[in-house]
Structure 1
Amino acid sequence: MTATETEAVAAPSRRRRRVLGLAAAAAALAVLVVLSLVFGSKPLPLIDVVTALGRDNGDAHVIVVGQRLPRTVLAVVVGLALAVAGALMQGLTRNPLADPGLLGVSAGAALGVVLAVRAVPGADGLLQTWAAFLGAVVTACAVFAIGSLGGRGRSPVTLVLGGVALGAVLQGIASTVVLLNADAFLTMRSWQAGSVADLGWPAVGTVAPFAAAGLVLAAVAARGLNATALGEDLATALGGSQWLTRVAVVGAVTLLCGSATAAVGVVWFLGMMVPHLARWIAGPDQRWILAYSLLLGPCLMVAADVLGRVVVAPDEIPAGVVTAVIGAPVLIGMVRRKKASGL
């Protein structure tokens, strides 16, 4: 049998495994969502949770529908947003260590929150969210403009360098304001922990539309990212528009990472770790990596939130702290595997 015939036989089997993997990830997410509704400072029997979703049965209804359900939905949206944004950044830069923060989006969001609290003492969560998202958008636009100056915008490296440089400057400004303002210090102390607790449906309503728009742009960029993996010159020779791919990726990362960071703060390692796991399972095809990230990101975020609730109950550990604690050793173990560490 020739190599071509072998590949033709293996392709359906590989696709079948990928589809089964997606089904398993979806099932795992469903289980985690149920656990998120059941466990908390006051664990509830599953039958009470199901009843609370259907009708008002007192305290259980308040806990499930009023607190845990919006918290779980927000964790799902934030998880998929950060994971897909991380996969896009790794695909664009061909760097397995890339994460959404390389564009300076997180630093811009942090500065937006700081300036909002400084300008409007006692600013509510909704105002902080919009200020953070505006900061993220302005930063991403500035990075894209800097990376395209002087005709050097052909290389994604210029975007990364511009993002790292501008992000460092904005982080320094934000830190200065925080040190000089007590309200900003208290706000940033909780915001940087990456918690999805007590934000409710307003936060979900703010994040979801931008995350949906970001996913549309991610789907547009997926095919172009496969060409980018072959190298800039070869991708151009194959007829792909690398400039359009880059614009779509930057726009998607801004919408996804900006909205997620604006809503819950900084969540460490998720955007870097999930694409590694997706690549390990699905292989190098960016379309499958994005599909797996869409499910594995929420799995990790919801699992981190549930674990943070039960490990020190009745107190809680923010989900962003949990992802940092478990993410570092898991990522080290994954990148040591040859199949997972390369792009």
Structure 2
Amino acid sequence: MKSIAKIQSTLGKLVRSTLYACAAVAVLSGNAAAAAKVRIGVVGSLSDASIYIAEAKGYFKDEGIDAEIIRFPNSAQMIAPIGAGQLDVAVGATSAGLYNSIGRGIDIKVVADKGSMPPGHGYVPLLVRKDLVDSGAFKSLKDLKGLRVGSQSPGGSALSLLNEALKKGGVPYKDVKISYMGHSQLAAALQNKALDAAMVTEPNATRAVQTGTVVRFSPQADQIYPSQQVAVVLYRGAFARQEAATATKVMRAYIRATRDYNDALVNGKLTGKNSDEIISILSKSTNEKDPSIYKVATAHGCHPDGMVNVASMKHDYEFFKEQGLITTPVDIDKVVDMSFARAVVNELGPYKPK
């Protein structure tokens, strides 16, 4: 009888173990099924920081988000995929191209800040050839008149920034010769004297200054055009409307990461207490692989509560209209939807620096 009892006990343990194992598998399977797949487009720039931080620190996973981060050569190439439902979240420049896409019926919402220029964060500086400054040919913004000036793209936010610089110098926009090329090409064109000045985004600006052939001209970009909204986070319209709970979870992860980024900043540089961790993430994830550049380059601003500078977007939109770059009018107030960011801030509370 004892042997039968032992066998029954052993069988009971096996059954219980099997049931526990099945339950565990069921729970794991349930969690896997519950994870929401979200496709996020990035360009690998430094201002994609919050997305990379959220991924590296597990903030998307904390929200039950299976984030698929997809690299694109530039933000313009994300417009068709997000319009076709192949992306849920994207990054974008506040450009004429973005507004024209929305005007054509691409269903996109601007939902959060990605890159802006609050005080100390002029990360798209005006660079001028050092020989022009040393010779006295360039002393102030009024000396931009007649110069060959470079910018990244027709209808980009840097053009509106350039226009503000010209206005401060009393120079009509038509009185400069503008050439368009990529960020790194702008710096190279300054060094070989194909350009006289350019609006160059970090970290390319710092690398150009380090060659000794160009100077970062004062006033800085954040003084020329305070708090310009340069880049934003975009949601596919249907994602925002039909998957609002998931969209809020994505925003919660994003804002947590953005606050980590802000905690790493001191006077516009990534030199704060957790900056080494942030730099490690960015040097592995972005196009800039040299960790040393992060502590000396001017860091982009990104509002820790995700808020977008709508007034800046409207200002730039009007400039684009004046230049004939807007093909179909749009209402900026209807383009921007900060409800997701506000919902998260209501839950987490306003940002408080650590």
Shorter-normalised TM-score: what interval? Answer: under 0.3
TM-score w.r.t. the length of structure 2 is 0.25
Higher Rg? 2
TM-score w.r.t. the length of structure 1 is 0.26
